[in-house]
Amino acid sequence: MENSSRIKILDESLCNQIAAGEVVERPASVVKELLENSIDAGADEIIVELESGGSKLIRVTDNGQGMNRQDAFLCLERHSTSKIRRAEDLFALTTLGFRGEALASIASVSRFRIRSCAADDGLGQEILVEGGKVRKAEEVGMARGTLIEVRNLFFNLPARRKFLRREQTELGHCADVVTKQALSHPAISFRLLHNSRPMLELRCEKGLAERVAALLGRTMLSEMQSIEVIDETAGICLRGLIGQPTLNRSASSHIYTFINGRYIRDRVVQHSIMDGYRHLLMKGRFPVVVLFLEIAPDRVDVNVHPTKHEVRFRDQAMVHDFIATTLQDQLKPAAWVKPVSRELSADLPPFNTESVSLGSVNHQIQTPLIREPIAPVYQSPGTDDSSGGLNPTILPLSSVSESETIQAGDLERYFSNLRYLGQYHSSYLLCQDGDDLLLIDQHAAHERIGFESLKESFFKNGIEQQSLLFPEMLELDFRSGQALTEHLDDLAHLGFDVEPFGGKSFALKAVPQLLVKGDNGRLIVDIALDLEQTGSSGGLVDRLDDVLIMMACHSVIRANQNLDPREARALLEQLDCVDFKANCPHGRPVMQRLRLVEVERMFRRQ
């Protein structure tokens, strides 16, 4: 009878290959797992060597604690780990690895060599594995530590090998992985070589700022601020470096987030960061941050995804709001009086572009070296940012010129106290601040003011509503529909009359007066999705602001409008009454600063 059973238990090597399907997607996934193991083994020197983007060879060498003969064999078995013993350990993890499946999976889909030595006797164990089968094992002379070589990834799975991309693309992903590990472990020295050429050389550093300087560039670091905020009652801490809003990117690739030392790309965390920068960035722009969230291990589950790239928080809304408010507080102008680069010790060697340049690799490590021009005050042909020549001044209000520091108290009447010089091109107010020349975009400034006062009137009197002649029918998915149902009252406050219409359908019957012509159905769908995804009240506040921004845009001073000095002064005084002064609600800078030295350089007086 037994023979007739259709169901079979899969053999071990097939199991490993299936597991590899989840853990090993491309060379970069191998690099990630091997680096995690080296870090868990306490190494402070790690070398990653690649050939052909890693598809031909990946070799990771570390000086960690190593493994003895027995462990070197054991580590290749599925579910073999030294990092957990009991189920409870899963909720008190201090290591990067714990699932015990990485090495077994990798060895099942490659030609694999491990060499490890746990003692100082100079004798190690070497094991060769091919497609999961041990081919050879012998003793070798070596120093304490581990070397793992992965050749011809997916040699035995041609279908998967076909999915590998061009060498440069795979290399880019590998370099990404090294970058992320290097950011979270400044005290470890990392070297990355490709086809024997050094790509990254990172020596052991004292702290995050030095590592960021070495990886992302000193220019970038000079526009970042270090933060550390602990909420003891909530048992949560956020520290790291955050970029000024003017330092922004067109993609989220420079948002580096770590939870308990582990690189994570989490939806909630990502959203909360964007929330922290709300109205300081233009749509479609992303900040540069390197942030470490520390939270009690039992309040976050990292075992929800094979590659551990995602987590689940026990209290998602609390984490979201903590990050968002922390950033909002830190991004207030007064917080920018001391850029972090000045804290760096002077004895650091100058930033060496060669050591991080990835040659012809089109990869994000390079991008920091090319600062994007963000509406420069003036363009100086033939010079770039790093040359020390004429620089487009992109300093926000809060940046401090060398000669002075802004006292927090002065900020309250900052704009009123400026010397008003005149209006330029019917669009910009020229003012003098000490030795600096300021250009203020009157439209952006007024938009900011309009937005703030609209917000105030909203909270006091509510928004005028207009019924639609034909209600608009909305069809949502189950979860969005539920989220929306919970927030119908909030929407009514915003001027939207949304009525449940059975199941996941809703009828939009009235909208805010000013938005009659807008695509309100879409706005509501977006709001619902947002509410569903964040699970926090922050979602709606977000949208509330978006709605108010649109309204503000309709009610303000345009560019190309003459202002007499009295009107200009009034505008400056109003600017002192709003919260964020550096940007308009769309994130365009409200003002630009031209320092005296820069003017002098323009006239060759320096």
Q: For residue 369, give the DSSP letter.
A: G
Interface pattern 34-73 for Mg ion (x via CB under 5 A): ---x------------------------------------
Give the side-chain half-sphere CA count within 13 A for 136. Answer: 9
Assigned token pair, 398: 């809060």
Alpha helices in 340-438 (DSSP H): 353-356
Q: Is 154 helix (H, G, I), strand (E, B) or coil?
A: coil
Q: Residue 583: CB partners within 8 Å, gap ≥ 6? A: 245, 279, 280, 281, 396, 444, 448, 589, 590
465-475 and 436-441 strand pairing: unpaired
Q: Which residue has the tokens 């809003």?
A: 245
Cα 378 to Cα 22, 248, 265, 305, 593: the distances in Å are 51, 19, 37, 49, 11
**In the complex, what is the shortest distance from the CB of residue 230 to ligand ADP, in angstroms, rounded to a whole number?**
30
Measured distance CA(284)–CA(526) in Å, rounded: 16
Nearer CB in complex with ligand ADP: 101/205: 101
Buried b (16+ CB within 10 A) or exposed e, 483-492: bbeebeebbe
Site for ligand ADP in 47-66 (CB under 6 A): 62, 64-66
Q: State which of residues 28, 103, 255, 293 lies at the interface with ligand ADP (CB under 6 A).
A: 103
Q: State which of residues 54, 58, 61, 98 lies at the interface with ligand ADP (CB under 6 A).
A: 98
CB 98 within 8 A of CB 107: no
Interface pattern 142-181 for ligand ADP (x via CB under 6 A): ----x-----------------------------------
Contact between 23 and ligand ADP (CB under 6 A)? no
For helices 316-330 and 267-276, the axis angle rounded to 10 degrees is 30
Please compute Rg for the chain using Cα positions.
28
Binding range to Mg ion, per CB under 5 A, among 46-54, 93-101, 211-219, 258-266: 93-101
Q: State which of residues 34, 35, 41, 102 lies at the interface with Mg ion (CB under 5 A).
A: 102
Q: State which of residues 27, 53, 66, 97 lies at the interface with Mg ion (CB under 5 A).
A: 97
CB 447 within 8 A of CB 584: yes
Site for ligand ADP in 382-401 (CB under 6 A): none
**In the complex, what is the shortest distance from the CB of residue 37 to ligand ADP, in angstroms, rounded to a whole number?**
3
The size of the interface with ligand ADP (CB under 6 A), counted in residues, is: 22
Contact between 132 and ligand ADP (CB under 6 A)? no
Binding range to ligand ADP, per CB under 6 A, among 97-105, 279-287, 409-417, 446-454: 97-105
- 496 is in the binding site of which of Mg ion, ligand ADP, none (Cβ under 5 to 8 A by kind)? none
Contact between 81 and ligand ADP (CB under 6 A)? yes
Binding range to Mg ion, per CB under 5 A, among 62-70, 91-99, 311-319, 563-571: 91-99
Contact between 83 and ligand ADP (CB under 6 A)? yes
Q: State which of residues 80, 168, 482, 561 lies at the interface with ligand ADP (CB under 6 A).
A: 80
Q: Which residues sit at the interface with ligand ADP, rule CB under 6 A?
A: 33, 37-38, 41, 62, 64-67, 75, 80-83, 97-103, 146
